[in-house]
Chain A
Amino acid sequence: MTDTTMSSITAPPPPMSGRRGPVGSVLIHAALIAASIAMLYPLLWMVSASVRPEDEIFSSTTLWPSSVDFASYVRGWFGLDVSFGRFFWNSLVIAVLTVIGNVVACSLAAYAFARLRFAGRNFWFAMMLGTMMIPYHVTLIPQYVLFLDLGWVNTILPLVVPKFLASDAFFIFLMVQFFRGIPRELDEAAMMDGCGPWRIYWKIMLPLSLPVLATAAIFSFIWTWDDFFGPLIYLNDMNTYTIQLGLRTFVDSSSTSDWGGLFAMSTLTLVPVFFFFLFFQRLLIEGIATTGMKR
């Protein structure tokens, strides 16, 4: 099922055989263009508001600013006691470590589930699938108590260490599906040549799995960058804030005064996600289409 979906996504569209007349085609494009404008309008308006002179932000519903002025970015960047540079750095560190943790730990587990034979494998695999169904609210409070006792609150550890323990079971599942598609003959040939499981994992599975590893890495990055709830719970000192917490603090402290700065900083927090989207669109869309990733 997943294989056919993948190939049909990448394959060229099937021949038309005249199913739609020119009038129908124009109507469809009109509807799609109208929908596209409605979808993008709020985003474009926000970007445009971030470069407008302050007194013009709310007086206009058009997207084109009368003059472009980046003062809002400077004001917003230094609008709190801690600059947004710090928040960006914190988010970046957490996101990069999360990517590494997820890719390494999930691929190890996925290799075991997909390729190695050991007692209890099916049992653990079922457990792993089970953890995907449990809402995180159930483990939230004891995890918080645990990390509090360890003295990890107000550090990035509660946000990063679980990723090195393959806590995003979803990615394990994704990788298992992919690994299963790699011909077994390759491992068997390598075993004949005396390779152990580590070498097979490292020299055969990982290089052949770059698409799925990249998909997991990109989604890890974007979700971590956007995550609000985890940092909200574990980070209370403004020096440790991520970009999402910083933005929220900015909203609370200056929502009535500095709209330009608010929209400028909002725009900046979306920029990395936007560029990831631009560069890895195909991987992201295939990832969604083949596995039904949420969000």
Chain B
Amino acid sequence: MAAVQDSAIAVGAGAKGRPAARGRLADLWTKHGAGYMFLLPWLVGFFGLTLGPAVASLYLSFTNFDLIRSPEWVGAANYVRIATADPKFAASLQVTFLYVVLSVPFKLGFALLVAILLDRGVRGLTVYRAIFYLPSLLGGSVAIAVLWRQLFAGDGLINSLLAQFGIEGPSWISHPDYSIWTLVVLSVWQFGSPMIIFLAGLRQIPTDMYEAASLDGASKFRQFYKITLPLLTPVIFFNAVVQTIEAFKAFTPAFIISGGTGGPINSTLFYTLYLYQEAFGNFRMGYASALAWILVLIIGLFTAFSFLTSRYWVHYDD
């Protein structure tokens, strides 16, 4: 295939009547130049906006930098302070882990449950699918966070609904024990996009496997446990990794619901919110860079761990 393409280029060039013998440089250009021309915008972005800044960020993480004076080298001091003397770091990490551990399983559980209900011949599939997907699409916007803040306020809609059953609910968002749950519920409400991926995965499982199992007298539950679940593990794995990384990076809902503070008593101080506060509230750019690299480390470790353990439970055909 590749050889065909090369000779085709040569033929094309020859047809235009260019001289056959050209300089080595011109040959190289014909062969590789076009590729780099097409890649040019991306290359500029890669060096200028990704690689360069990443290196700069690593450097800044070893400095004190307030945007006004030039960065002052402090060695590992930022990292030492993060590890030993920063209660807000510990708090934000705890909140974030809690959020990940609570929101991801619930979200994936709902997504899988609904996908199974929708799979195979439910009438009105497209309507249901659209309804369940809509919140995922709207989810990141300020309007939804604002709405959520109102729903779970002391005199909000949730408590009005509960009152009809004679239950007096607390002020969910201003109580440190409950505030994180409102964010978890918001995240679970957006189960639509993993659901669609589950649905696509379920469609790939051949129907005749179920038919054969039915003939052998396997119950629905047993079919689910022995066929659906194992064959779906690659999709479960994919959804789990993507959703976990997204959960680590969550920002807008916590920012809006807590008014940017991460309160009450740091109970919604997501890691990214703390990073934002340090960088753009206190202008500790060096310290915030160190926080960013620790986030990279955490996400990297988590991803590596997932891939290492996946070989014991993720089932691939080939």
Of the candidates A128, A167, A191, the one whose C-beta lies within 8 Å of that of B49 is A167
B204 A19 Cβ-Cβ under 8 A: no
Q: Which residue of B lies closest to A250 (CB)?
A: B146
Q: Which of B10-18, B76-84, B85-93, B170-178 contacts A (4 or more CB under 8 A)?
A: B10-18
With a CB–CB cut-off of 8 A, which chain B residues contact A45?
157
Q: Which of B96-104, B136-144, B224-232 contacts A (4 or more CB under 8 A)?
A: B136-144
B279 A140 Cβ-Cβ under 8 A: yes
Query: Contact residue range for chain A?
Result: 35 or more
Of the candidates B44, B54, B129, B138, the one whose C-beta lies within 8 Å of that of A285 is B129
For the complex, is B151 an interface residue (Cβ under 8 Å from A)?
Answer: yes
Find residues 101-153 in chain A having any chain B CB closer than 8 Å to their own CB: 105, 108-109, 111-113, 116-119, 121, 124, 127-128, 131, 133-135, 137-146, 148
CA distance A197 to B12 in the complex (A): 11
A289 B196 Cβ-Cβ under 8 A: yes
CA distance A275 to B137 in the complex (A): 11
A196 B12 Cβ-Cβ under 8 A: yes
Q: Which residue of A lies closest to B130 (CB)?
A: A281
With a CB–CB cut-off of 8 A, which chain A residues contact B288?
141
For the complex, is B112 an interface residue (Cβ under 8 Å from A)?
Answer: no
A58 B293 Cβ-Cβ under 8 A: no
Find residues 104-152 in chain B having any chain A CB closer than 8 Å to their own CB: 114, 117-118, 120-126, 128-144, 146-148, 150-151
With a CB–CB cut-off of 8 A, which chain B residues contact A292?
197, 238-239, 242
**Contact residues of A: prevailing secondary structure:** helix
A146 B53 Cβ-Cβ under 8 A: yes
With a CB–CB cut-off of 8 A, which chain A residues contact B150?
259
Q: A267-B143, A277-B137 are in contact. Are A42 and B67 (CB under 8 A)?
A: no
B42 A166 Cβ-Cβ under 8 A: yes
For the complex, is B39 an interface residue (Cβ under 8 Å from A)?
Answer: yes
> Which residues of B are at the interface with A, using a C-beta cutoff of 8 A?
1-2, 4-6, 8-9, 11-12, 15-16, 31-36, 38-46, 48-50, 52-54, 56-57, 60, 67, 114, 117-118, 120-126, 128-144, 146-148, 150-151, 155-157, 160-161, 164, 189-190, 193, 196-197, 199-201, 203-204, 207, 210-211, 214, 238-239, 242, 245-246, 248-249, 251-252, 255-256, 259, 272, 275-276, 279-280, 285, 288-289, 291-293, 295-296, 299, 303
Would you list 16 pairs from A and B whose C-beta atoms are within 8 A, ordered by A residue? A5-B200, A16-B120, A32-B128, A36-B128, A40-B131, A117-B35, A124-B43, A135-B245, A137-B249, A141-B285, A141-B292, A142-B289, A270-B138, A285-B133, A288-B193, A293-B193
